C-alpha cells in the first residue's frame, strides 16, 4: 500500500528542504550529488555519481531508507551496510515523523549513513 496524498505532500516538502540544505555546490554536482525517491511506502536517499571505470554511466549509491508502517503510525529506519543489504538503524530503529528521519540522516551520529 502506498502513502496517502497528504503524507506525500509533507514528504516532498521535507525532502526538498533536505536537498536544499545538503546538496553540494552546483559546480560539483556532475561528479557528486544527492537525491531521493519515493516508492510505495518507502523513501530512499542516495548519492548520484559517475561510475569509477565508466564515467559516462551514472550510478546511485544508497544512503538511507525509511518505510512507513501504517498500522503503527511510524517510520522504520534503515542503512545500507557494505554487504549491500538494508539493516535496521539500531540506535534509532523507528521514528514518528519524516522530519525526525531527515534529522537522523543529517546528524549521522554513528556514521552509518554517510560513512
112 in a structural domain: no
Give the pLDDT of residue 38: 94
Give the pLDDT of residue 46: 98
Q: How far apart are CA 23 and CA 92, in angstroms?
A: 24
**pLDDT tens digits for 40-54?**
999 999 999 999 999
Number of domains in the chain: 1
Q: How far apart are CA 47 and CA 33, in angstroms?
A: 6
10 in a structural domain: yes
115 in a structural domain: no
114 in a structural domain: no
Q: For residue 55, what are the domain limits? A: 5-107
113 in a structural domain: no
Q: How far apart are CA 115 and CA 17, in angstroms?
A: 22
- Residue 80 makes CB contacts below 8 A (sequence gap 6+) with 62, 63, 64, 65, 86, 87
**pLDDT tens digits for 34-43?**
999 999 999 9
93 in a structural domain: yes
83 in a structural domain: yes
Amino acid at each position: 500500500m502506498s502513502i496517502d496524498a497528504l503524507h506525500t505532500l509533507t514528504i516532498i516538502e521535507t525532502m526538498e528542504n533536505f536537498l536544499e540544505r545538503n546538496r553540494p555546490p552546483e559546480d560539483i554536482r556532475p561528479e557528486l550529488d544527492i537525491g531521493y525517491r519515493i516508492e510505495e511506502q518507502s523513501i530512499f536517499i542516495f548519492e548520484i555519481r559517475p561510475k569509477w571505470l565508466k564515467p559516462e554511466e551514472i550510478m546511485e549509491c544508497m544512503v538511507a531508507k525509511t518505510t512507513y508502517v501504517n498500522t503503527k503510525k511510524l517510520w522504520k529506519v534503515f542503512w545500507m551496510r557494505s554487504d549491500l543489504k538494508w539493516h535496521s538503524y539500531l540506535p534509532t530503529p523507528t521514528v514518528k515523523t519524516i522530519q525526525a528521519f531527515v534529522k537522523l540522516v543529517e546528524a549521522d551520529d554513528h556514521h552509518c549513513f554517510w560513512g
